[in-house]
Amino acid sequence: MANISYWNPENIQDISESVGVTTLNDEVLHALTAEVQYRVAQVIEEAQRFMRHSKRTIMTTKDVALALRVLDVEPLYGYESTRPLRFGEAMFGQPLFYVEDEEVDFERLINAPLPKIPREIAYTAHWLSVEGIQPSIPQNPASSDARGQEGLQKNASANPNLATISGTDAAGSKSLIKHVLSKEAQLYFERICAAILDENDESQRLGALASIRGDPGVHQLVPYFVQYAAEKVTHNLKNLFILRQMLDLTLALMENDSLFIDPYINALVPVILTCLLSPHIGTPGSLQEEFPLRASAASILGKTAKKYAKSSQTLRARLARSCLKAFLDPKKPLETHYGAILGLEAVSGREGVRNLILPILKEYSSLIQEAQNAGSAGATSAEYIISAIIGVLQSLRDDTGPLVNGFASGDVNSQRPKLESKVGGLLAERIIRQGDPKLVQAILT
């Protein structure tokens, strides 16, 4: 049975002559025709598969290009066009077809505006990943994070902190960079938050803080913990236990050497300053617990300024300015002044005490005296203030040399007039009670 060919051998003959092959016998010509027919049918069959998978009834040039790629054939080069190809027939005795070109008016082409000059080729750098997270910028490929976002939406009702960070809160706000968390990480975050606020089980609290302090795998949860601490401090100023736990959480994050906390310092500092300088924290009956909390906040503030001063050159100055502003405000309560004094000493050291605190102690002494006369609560606060002032003045002792002149005898009472003119009568009396001539010399020199 003879093979039926649907491909015209004359087309093969024309193509061979166009490339310089003029002598083809009938056997070779029929063999080439059969091969071309088989290959074309193979390409069309593959292209039909792409067409059907795309749920279309019209085959496009893109389907053919994909079919050629699947068959490992060199693709067709050129510009793709969305316009249908129109073929015209040449009247030269034999049927020849050609692609009709659009006729363009020559005068309209000349008068048309010139196209814009393309930009020169240039290279630029961008962040492909920051701390393992791909920034959502035009230079980066679009990440398929729909599944992660769906997971966050499901957990939003269970944990409002995750909803706030992921941009799925009730207000409909969206974060600039979507964060994908695994179910294990979400469960870990919820368990840690629950353990930290468990008032009845100290071992769980200490275990949770130890995990944050030593686990290098919590880097993805750092922004969530920062947001969690900020929200808890903002909405629980009357609960000293929660404030204490949020300070411990902040310190645990900073003490984890495997975490890069520098980008989050500006968000953590308000947590510390709120516990340190807020006018009203705790209940009226928790005054004895309030001052140790402020002292702890001052200690953490000093560690923050020391550890992150290099990455943020203005951090130490901003912290000292905030504490000094609170200390110089006479309308602030003594509890805020207590935190400001300890904060200034923790951030600025001996230089801050000598240049910022010591020069105004004489005027400040009268404010302490008024508080002592106001009642029992004011007297308690005044005692804490006096202890804080004497404590920070002790840091000046390291700057003094050997005792000279009137200080060598050890009789500090002889320096009372000078001391009263320097720090006021009330504070001078308390300093003299210390019986430390080196402290007196450090204050007066």
Q: Show me where the domains of the chain are located.
A: 1-78
Give the mean pLDDT of 376-405: 80
Amino acid at 170: A
Q: What is the pLDDT of residue 161?
A: 54
CATH superfamily placement of domain 1-78 = Histone, subunit A (1.10.20.10)
Give the mean pLDDT of 223-244: 92
Question: Does residue 286 carry a pLDDT above 60?
Answer: yes
Q: What is the pLDDT of residue 269?
A: 93
For the segment 50-88, what is each residue's pLDDT rounded down to a tens digit?
999 999 988 888 899 899 999 998 877 765 666 666 667
Higher pLDDT, 398 or 178: 398
Give the mean pLDDT of 144-149: 48
Task: Name the pLDDT band for 143 (thresholds 50, 70, 90).
Answer: low
Higher pLDDT, 319 or 132: 319
Rounded to whole angstroms, the Cα distance separating 399 from 438 reads 10
Among 213-222, 308-317, 332-341, 394-403, the minimum mean pLDDT is found in 394-403
Q: What is the pLDDT of residue 274?
A: 93
Q: What is the pLDDT of residue 85?
A: 64
Q: What is the pLDDT of residue 147?
A: 46
Question: Does residue 252 carry a pLDDT above 50?
Answer: yes
Share of the chain above pLDDT 70, in %: 81
Residue 426 neighbours by CB distance under 10 Å: 18
Q: What is the pLDDT of residue 70?
A: 92
Question: Does residue 245 carry a pLDDT above 90?
Answer: yes
Among 1-10, 183-192, 280-289, the minimum mean pLDDT is found in 1-10
Q: What is the pLDDT of residue 55?
A: 92
pTM reported for the whole predicted model: 0.59
Question: Does residue 320 carry a pLDDT above 90?
Answer: yes
Q: What is the pLDDT of residue 5?
A: 62
Higher pLDDT, 230 or 412: 230
Give the mean pLDDT of 323-327: 92
Share of the chain above pLDDT 90, in %: 30
Task: Name the pLDDT band for 30 (thresholds 50, 70, 90).
Answer: confident
Rounded to whole angstroms, the Cα distance separating 231 from 160 reads 10
Q: What is the pLDDT of residue 62?
A: 87
Give the mean pLDDT of 174-197: 81
Give the mean pLDDT of 173-177: 51
Backbone angles phi, psi at 256, to 5 degrees: -80, 105
Rounded to the nearest integer, the mean pLDDT of the chain is 82
Question: Does residue 96 carry a pLDDT above 90?
Answer: no
Among 8-12, 392-396, 402-406, the minimum mean pLDDT is found in 402-406
